[in-house]
Structure 1
């Protein structure tokens, strides 16, 4: 990795941390801007750097820096009820970037990648939350996925617009 790539990956890790602090608690899973930043990391940085940026974010939080929602940190967050959402971030960023790269950076490819990324976040988050709810996956879906769908569709649309603009202005890789 060159210095520019390190800087971009670090920037998106930091932006994800900032997005985590804009949190509105709704049930067991807070509403944050993290998903928007995860999508943007894949859309703008691509699969490799998007993945790295989110791994840096998780590692920073795991060692105790207060980068997770509500200025929290620590390894326990990755294994708690919302840990599935967090652990999905690097996978989602990679998939968003990969779909964008494979589709030649078309709006269709970026949109498909964004929906795939959100889907992975929901899937892993829902499964982890369901285990913490004594296997009540229906309740976990109702509390941990459904309330967020409209907001995350909006975040995906915003991410597409921002990414198209930023990619025109800045050469990332």
Structure 2
């Protein structure tokens, strides 16, 4: 790994940690900026590095550092109601990282990344709530519009910053 990649990985791990702390608790699943950071990570970095960022983020949380939403940490979070969302982050970042950095590709891979997050998150949440319908209404439906806006925002931010960086 080159110095540039190492610095970018550290930067995006930090951004994910900060995004987790910007949180609006609305019930079992809070609204955070983690998904925005996953999109930006994937749009900026190659797939492997985007995946690595989120694996490092999870590892920091698993060992107990307060990097998850609400300045919390510990492996218990991976086994709790929101654990599926957390476990989806590396896979979603990897998928988003495959975009070709044009608007259409970024949109399609963003939708796929979001689908991964919802699939993992919904599955684990349904297990904890013992209800697929309740998990959908608590952990997916309230977030679709918000997360779509986050994806569009990430595309706009990424395109503008990449344009400046590559110039």
Equivalent pairs counted in the alignment come to: 166
Q: Counterpart in 2 of 1:40? A: 40
Counterpart residue number, 2:72:
72
Q: Which residue of 2 aligns with 1:30?
A: 30
* 2:110 paired residue among 94, 110, 114: 114
Give the one of 151, 159, 170 matched to 2:165: 170
Q: Does structure 2 conserve the Cα–Cα contact (< 8 Å) formed by 1:46 and 1:96?
A: no
In 1, Cα distance between equivalents of 2:123 and 2:66: 25
User: Who is 2:132 aligned against?
Assistant: 137
The answer for the alignment partner of 1:88 in structure 2 is: 88
**Alignment check: 8 A CA contact 1:10 1:56 kept:** no
The alignment status of 1:10 with 2:10, answered yes or no, reads yes
Root mean square deviation of aligned Cα: 0.9
Match in the other structure for 1:146: 141
For structure 2, which runs of at least 5 residues remain unmatched after alignment?
Answer: none
1:126 aligns with 2:122: yes
Calculate the TM-score normalised by the size of structure 2.
Answer: 0.97
Q: 1: CA distance between counterparts of 2:10 and 2:132? A: 35
Q: Deviations over 1:110-168 (max 9, x none)?
A: 0101111111101100000000012x011000000000111001000000001101212
On the 8 A contact 1:21/1:71 being kept in 2, the answer is yes
Normalization by structure 1: what TM-score? 0.93
The structural deviation recorded for 1:10 is: 1.2
SS at match of 2:46: helix
Q: Which runs of 5+ in 1 are unaligned?
A: none
